Structure 1
Amino acid sequence: MFIINLLRTVLVQLPRTHKRIALISFDFVGLGMAIWLSYCLRYSAIFIPDIRQLLLIFAGPVIAIPIFVRMGLYRAVIRYMPERAIWTMLQAMSLAALGWVTLVFVAELAGRGVVPRSVPFLYWLVGGLVVVGSRFAAKYLIWAPRDDQLHEGQILIYGAGDAGVQLAAAMRAQGRRLIAGFLDDDASLHGRDVAGIRVYDPEYFPTLVANFGIREVILSIPSVAGERRREIVQKLTGHSVKIRTLPPISDLLSGNYMVNQIREIDIDELLGRSSVPADQNLLSGMIEGRSILVTGAGGSIGSELCRLVLEWKPRQVVLYEQNEFALYNIDRALKALNVRNVKAVLASVTDEHRLRRTMLENQVDVVFHAAAHKHVPLVEANVFEGVRNNVFGSLTTTRVAYECGVKNFVLISSDKAVRPTNVMGATKRWAELIVHDYALRAAQAGSGQKFCAVRFGNVLGSNGSVVPLFKEQIVAGGPVTITDERMTRYFMSIHEAAELIVQAGALSHGGDIFLLEMGSPILIKDLAKNMIQLAGHKVRDAENPEGSIEITTVGARPGEKMFEELFYDATSAEPTKHSKILRTGGYVEGSELLEGLSQLQEHTQNHDEDALRRVLFAMIGRFAESKSPARSTLVASTSTSPHG
């Protein structure tokens, strides 16, 4: 083995010119030996040539080498030579044999010797074996599995199309991993070789994992629809293999990725959510040519909203953020796209003077209010800051937007605002009620301003969500911690949430609470299992004590609900023109809201946490949801709306 590895290293490191000289020398000697061996086979004895026969034997490679050069046999890189090159080599050998036969025929006419008729045929046969066999023996020697390759395990590529073939070629060129085969749904390819790699039926996947030590599957199906893609990923999980994927075909065609740039599978590919294309009229009508302000622009939802807004030609985008580092990151990311209509403002939503100045100077038309403290345990432990930022920050932002004539105001709310059991959810419900109250004011004043809220569940990969936490725990070798095995949550991708938020804002009549259709709730334990399996590990539990990563239950955190809801009353929700967006209304007695806000402010100033919590939860339970109100209903309700 040492000698083979040494020879392989020497061959690989030789300069290209030296490799060609070595190959030509080998062919010269090999073809001469092939002619001599042909004589031996013909006479069934060791052949001792005379001087004329030696000249004929010597003439064989002299004729063959120029033909091989012309046919490109010395241009090909043996290490990457495809199997179809066999036919080129056989054609070259056939021409070389015919050239030698012509010389033999001329020699016989000149009376220079007689060559048995079977020798040219034997020469073609033996010479072909020498030429073809030497190339593929060298290829095997250079590509023979190394110990490090065997240790890392073999790879399967799902998809034997053009992208899969290019990926296989790129991976072979790198030479770091072994490709055991292709998986493909096309039954006509099963059992055949594509680019020298066997194609298997996906149904044999468990057998291949067991027999070949498969460690990873790469999805090379960039053009497959999302639903089918999710089905494939779900079938592959559970076999202790890591799953990665090529980027979407649109990214490949646009040049954002190369075919050998593989990325990790996104967990949202396992959510089973059906994708609904965005309504371009709603998006463009809400954004195009308008000045947009996004509060909390450096957060997960805020930053995605900024990216989406810039795709639809706004007049200006104002990034409003109190976290300096977050604002720096999103400002840099957006300006890297060569856009000039982005302005970064470092300030808090509780700063009324700065908010008013920003909205007036930039003639803001639309506000997406995403700024909030959202991490449940942290807000629970810091109730005064939670109320200050989430309630009074929302009150300040909404009031200033109303007074500055902002045309559309969209509050990003949360499913935790429904029957809240934690401070974060309660503050979000207060923010919804504040926005609804200003919708009543706008309706009474006839200003045409539209204030609404959009309520949805968790977004995958957002700051503070379980997905980044689980990823960190998996990389560290576990355990993955969950609070309760029965706990469920709604999930959607950040990009989908951002698109639906903008479209919901465009559908607003004023005073609406929009509910984004979140699909079915997911067990947090199942989410953890899927992420462990996607990373190529097995869950260690009572049924599988040999697994690599354990899931442990640590108990619910303060204020944490076992499951989340999107509705106070599901019968109050009405469909909209978008299948993923529902609408409900809200009813608030303005005098009660004003009184409640005064009490919250008093207890915050007095630093009375118990009283603050009491008021925070006591009042919102009296404000129910109703059918989405028409404009006339809004106007009629404004008689009780506060005007302070």
Structure 2
Amino acid sequence: MSLTRPQKSALLLAFDLTLVPATFFVALQLQYSRVWPLLPLRANWGLVPLLMAVAAVAIVLIGLHRVRLKQYQGQAIVQTVWVAAILGVTSALLAKFGDLRLPNGFHFILAVIYFIGYVGARQLMLSTLTQLYRRSHIVTRVAIYGTGRTGMALANELRHSDDIMAYAFLDDNASMEGMVLNGLPVYSGVHAAKLKEHFNVNRIILAMPSLSLDKQTFLATRLGDLGFEVQTLPAFAQIFGGDALISKLMPSTPASLLARDPLDQRMDTGCAAYRAANVMITGAGGSIGLELCRQIMTCRPARLILFDISEFALYTAEAEMRVLADTVGVEIVTVLGSIADQQHVAQALARHDVDVVLHAAAYKHVPIVEANARVGLANNSLGTAVLARAARDAGVKRFVLVSSDKAVRPGNLMGASKRFAELIVQDLATRSERTIFSIVRFGNVLGSSGSVIPKFREQIARGGPVTLTNERVTRYFMTIEEASRLVLLAGSFAEGGEVFVLDMGKPIRIGDLARKMIEAAGYTVRDAANPEGDIEIVTTGLRRGEKLHEELSYRQGAQTTAHPKIIRVREHHLSEIEMAAALRSLRDAVESGSDEAVISVVARTVREYAPQGLPDSAPQMRAVASRDAGDTPAE
């Protein structure tokens, strides 16, 4: 039967009082250098009950007996100094006025011994109880990943918890390994598996809110593979006291927000297309590109070529891949540049004898591409043409274009640019003898850069509000890991010219997703029904080019593949002459520097393009949209 809080306090007080006679005896031993100082003990034993009474009053008034063992530190130790000092002063006064022949040094020794005994007893009791807890099944054993301010605050908070106990820190800073912080040992992140062996830890808390979601997801996946349950702690939770910090723990992986089971098997099929091959991934530093790199490494290619226009993204991707490469023996090559640079792309393909190209490089943020039509189309569409033709000329075996559900009846320029890119790849597939061209199309990826998950998390961490464009907006979602794995599988199935559509499940209302994330973080939604809630949801209105609902394909008919989550469809495409004319017109429009000219070419080529939410100040764009509104996709 467990003791109540008052019962525990009473036991601690009783123990503290028994320290007084023990301390008195030890102080006499030290003062008179005798193992059994019988004569001084008989002469001065009358002091002991009085000192016990004084100690009891001091401890109760200060409240030391109510300090829990896990909280005995800092201020509590200073208070123990005061009790010991009161005990020593009282002993000296009683000896003086009682005409007791005790040396002055005895009272100082008494105070010091009592302090040492008190602190040592508390630490011994805490250590004993900790060992008992570690062998029991009534507490959750956790490790904290991150030794920064958030990690230290969480470690302090967990000292107050009866059912969660922290056993160690994890940190990627090698200089921290072997240190002890807040009484907890620090292990390197790569040695996380040791925590199960040493402490039987079953949960790891990522206390690094400033870490990018990509890195958090990567860590969570790696730790999950080791058998740990992983949670994260939002930065906003640090401003709460008491148990609130612990209550803000939330699932670390975006997959937990999906209302369906994610893909759980590893990349154990489809690897034959990539094993021992030289694989180039464009946009390798982006969310999808980087996950494709991680997944492709499990297939053990001979060489992995990371191609990206961002030096920082390329540096980050290379650093991570080299760690993985050391374990699987894959050569890592970095190529900095633009996919629209024809000479550079051709040289890279030839120099590294590329067998497979996974094309994930694209400008993907709808509002940014909408405001920069010429640059967006030049990269997403013309860049794809340059890369795909160079791959064909170099004799690349497989070329996989990573596309988007926004390419279906596109309502914005980003989607139209991706559909234009699809048309380019489909055209090359019809007359390519050596290269198998294919397209993989899927919806939004949970947790990718710029997506709603990082945005909502950041807003929740700041305390809100969480902003939505429209309560009724729905989107298809898939985790980065699942999407990347299925892209590789679909690419291995390709025979040429297919559009593979991934099974994204049912579309999710963004408003529902926002509420789930707020509640998963331990907060409540503040609205008319709950005016005292924590975080408000604000609707800002649909942005230019944004649709309420997305689609995944034009055609109703589809064919199954060897994987239940991959569907093969045949989309309409332009003739060789039409495609050549469209590319020539797009190049001329891009070179003219006119966004309007670029949009006009896109509207003529991507006949399903129907701009959404155009402002009144864009008459030329509106005229183009109006002129092509009646066009329907050719079957």
TM-score by length of 2: 0.61
Equivalent position of 1:177 in the other structure: 158
Q: Of the candidates 522, 527, 533, which is equivalent to residue 513 of structure 2?
A: 527
Q: For the residues of structure 2 that align with 1:259 and 1:544, how far apart are their CA atoms?
A: 27
Equivalent position of 1:558 in the other structure: 544
CA-to-aligned-CA distance 1:157-179 (integer Å, 9 cap, x gap): xxx958825679x9999563366
CA-to-aligned-CA distance 1:336-373 (integer Å, 9 cap, x gap): 33536101110100011111111111111100000110
Q: CA RMSD in A?
A: 4.4
* 2:372/2:595 contact within 8 Å kept: no
Change (3 A) 1:338 1:281: closer
CA-to-aligned-CA distance 1:589-610 (integer Å, 9 cap, x gap): 3221222122212222223332
Change (3 A) 1:288 1:468: same
Q: For the residues of structure 1 that align with 2:534 and 2:291, how far apart are their CA atoms?
A: 35
Q: Sequence identity of aligned pairs in percent?
A: 40
Gaps of 5+ in 2: 1-8, 27-38, 43-67, 71-117, 128-135, 145-150, 166-194, 197-215, 234-248, 610-635
Instruction: Please identify, of 589-598 and 415-424, the stretch whose mean Cα deviation from structure 2 is larger.
Output: 589-598
Matched AA of 1:455: R
Equivalent position of 2:574 in the other structure: 589
In the TM superposition, residue 301 of structure 1 has moved relative to its aligned partner by: 0.4
CA-to-aligned-CA distance 1:37-62 (integer Å, 9 cap, x gap): xxxxxxxxxxxxxx9xx9xxxxxxxx
* 2:474/2:509 contact within 8 Å kept: yes
| Higher gyration radius (CA) | 1
Equivalent position of 1:418 in the other structure: 408
Change (3 A) 1:405 1:249: closer
Matched AA of 1:523: R
Matched AA of 1:619: T
Q: Of the candidates 259, 264, 275, which is equivalent to residue 262 of structure 2?
A: 275
Equivalent position of 1:469 in the other structure: 455
Q: For the residues of structure 2 that align with 1:574 and 1:253, how far apart are their CA atoms?
A: 34
Q: Of the candidates 340, 343, 352, which is equivalent to residue 353 of structure 1?
A: 343
Instruction: Please identify, of 597-606 and 515-524, the stretch whose mean Cα deviation from structure 2 is larger.
Output: 597-606
Residues 1:539 and 2:525 aligned together: yes
Residues 1:458 and 2:444 aligned together: yes
In the TM superposition, residue 251 of structure 1 has moved relative to its aligned partner by: 3.2
Q: For the residues of structure 2 that align with 1:26 and 1:178, how far apart are their CA atoms?
A: 30
- 1:434-513 pair list within 5 angstroms: 434-442=424-432, 445=433, 447=434, 449-513=435-499
Equivalent position of 1:61 in the other structure: none
Equivalent position of 1:164 in the other structure: 140
The residue matched to 1:515 in structure 2 has which SS?
A: strand
* 2:138/2:163 contact within 8 Å kept: no
Q: Of the candidates 285, 288, 312, which is equivalent to residue 299 of structure 2?
A: 312
- 1:27-66 pair list within 5 angstroms: none
Instruction: Please identify, of 261-270 and 313-322, the stretch whose mean Cα deviation from structure 2 is larger.
Output: 261-270
Change (3 A) 1:552 1:507: same
In the TM superposition, residue 283 of structure 1 has moved relative to its aligned partner by: 3.3
Equivalent position of 2:588 in the other structure: 602
Equivalent pairs counted in the alignment come to 436
Matched AA of 2:420: W
In the TM superposition, residue 139 of structure 1 has moved relative to its aligned partner by: 8.6
Matched AA of 1:366: V
* 1:287/1:309 contact within 8 Å kept: yes
Matched AA of 2:512: D
Q: For the residues of structure 1 that align with 2:472 and 2:260, how far apart are their CA atoms?
A: 21
Change (3 A) 1:162 1:177: closer
The residue matched to 2:255 in structure 1 has which SS?
A: helix
Gaps of 5+ in 1: 1-7, 12-18, 30-50, 55-77, 81-133, 144-159, 184-193, 195-221, 224-243, 624-644
The residue matched to 1:344 in structure 2 has which SS?
A: strand
* 2:279/2:354 contact within 8 Å kept: yes
In the TM superposition, residue 268 of structure 1 has moved relative to its aligned partner by: 2.3
* 2:363/2:376 contact within 8 Å kept: yes
Q: For the residues of structure 2 that align with 1:260 and 1:349, how far apart are their CA atoms?
A: 37
Residues 1:330 and 2:327 aligned together: no
In the TM superposition, residue 180 of structure 1 has moved relative to its aligned partner by: 6.3
CA-to-aligned-CA distance 1:143-192 (integer Å, 9 cap, x gap): 9xxxxxxxxxxxxxxxx958825679x99995633666669xxxxxxxxx
Residues 1:25 and 2:22 aligned together: yes
CA-to-aligned-CA distance 1:293-339 (integer Å, 9 cap, x gap): 00111111001111111122110000011111111111112123353
Residues 1:375 and 2:375 aligned together: no
Change (3 A) 1:355 1:260: closer
Q: For the residues of structure 2 that align with 1:257 and 1:489, how far apart are their CA atoms?
A: 28
* 2:465/2:536 contact within 8 Å kept: yes
Equivalent position of 2:564 in the other structure: 579
Q: For the residues of structure 2 that align with 1:617 and 1:253, how far apart are their CA atoms?
A: 47
In the TM superposition, residue 79 of structure 1 has moved relative to its aligned partner by: 4.9
* 1:278/1:499 contact within 8 Å kept: no
CA-to-aligned-CA distance 1:508-534 (integer Å, 9 cap, x gap): 111010011111111111111111122
* 1:365/1:407 contact within 8 Å kept: yes
* 2:297/2:324 contact within 8 Å kept: no
Q: For the residues of structure 2 that align with 1:380 and 1:345, how far apart are their CA atoms?
A: 28
Change (3 A) 1:378 1:141: same
Change (3 A) 1:408 1:182: same
The residue matched to 1:387 in structure 2 has which SS?
A: helix
Instruction: Please identify, of 312-321 and 462-471, the stretch whose mean Cα deviation from structure 2 is larger.
Output: 462-471
Change (3 A) 1:606 1:285: same
The residue matched to 2:607 in structure 1 has which SS?
A: helix
* 1:415/1:566 contact within 8 Å kept: yes
In the TM superposition, residue 503 of structure 1 has moved relative to its aligned partner by: 0.3
The residue matched to 1:392 in structure 2 has which SS?
A: helix
The residue matched to 2:140 in structure 1 has which SS?
A: helix
Matched AA of 1:527: L
In the TM superposition, residue 559 of structure 1 has moved relative to its aligned partner by: 0.5
Change (3 A) 1:397 1:24: farther
Equivalent position of 1:286 in the other structure: 273
CA-to-aligned-CA distance 1:592-638 (integer Å, 9 cap, x gap): 12221222122222233323212202322279xxxxxxxxxxxxxxx
In the TM superposition, residue 386 of structure 1 has moved relative to its aligned partner by: 0.8
* 1:513/1:586 contact within 8 Å kept: yes
Q: For the residues of structure 2 that align with 1:433 and 1:167, how far apart are their CA atoms?
A: 51
- 1:366-405 pair list within 5 angstroms: 366-405=356-395
Change (3 A) 1:428 1:600: same
TM-score by length of 1: 0.60
In the TM superposition, residue 575 of structure 1 has moved relative to its aligned partner by: 1.3
* 2:270/2:492 contact within 8 Å kept: yes
Change (3 A) 1:163 1:441: farther
Q: For the residues of structure 2 that align with 1:486 and 1:173, how far apart are their CA atoms?
A: 38
The residue matched to 2:269 in structure 1 has which SS?
A: helix
Equivalent position of 2:283 in the other structure: 296
Q: For the residues of structure 2 that align with 1:350 and 1:562, how far apart are their CA atoms?
A: 32
Matched AA of 2:380: N
Matched AA of 1:408: R
Change (3 A) 1:250 1:292: closer
Equivalent position of 1:101 in the other structure: none
Equivalent position of 2:627 in the other structure: none
Equivalent position of 1:251 in the other structure: 223
